[in-house]
Amino acid sequence: MAKKRDSFEADLKKLEEIVETLESGDLPLEESMARFEEGVKCAARCRKTLESAELKVEKLLRDRDGGHVVEPFEED
């Protein structure tokens, strides 16, 4: 059975825990490297989720016929 993908919040929390653990400096090198690799994967999933959310953010505007016109969200 396929593993259920973690939510953005779960990935972010896991990443924060990994950073805290690595910053403590209490792990052996091999375990630190494994945690670092896991952190990189979590960060990549978070970035992908945020990029996807950014693409979905859209403004809805009323057009002349009462329908909606979809425009991409503009960054500041």
Segment (H or E) for 72? strand 68-72
In angstroms, rounded to a whole number, what is the distance separating the alpha carbons of residues 38 and 21? 12
User: How many distinct structural domains can be found in the chain?
Assistant: 1
pLDDT, position 58: 53
The answer to whether residue 3 is domain-embedded is no
Confidence category of residue 39, pLDDT binned at 50, 70, 90: very high
Mean of the pLDDT values across residues 34-51?
96
For 9-23, how does the pLDDT look when each residue is reduced to its tens digit (9 = 90+)? 999 999 999 999 999
The answer to whether residue 1 is domain-embedded is no
Domain span at residue 55? 8-72
The answer to whether residue 51 is domain-embedded is yes
pLDDT, position 71: 66
Residues in the chain: 76
3-state SS string for 13-57: HHHHHHHHHHHHCCCCHHHHHHHHHHHHHHHHHHHHHHHHHHHHC
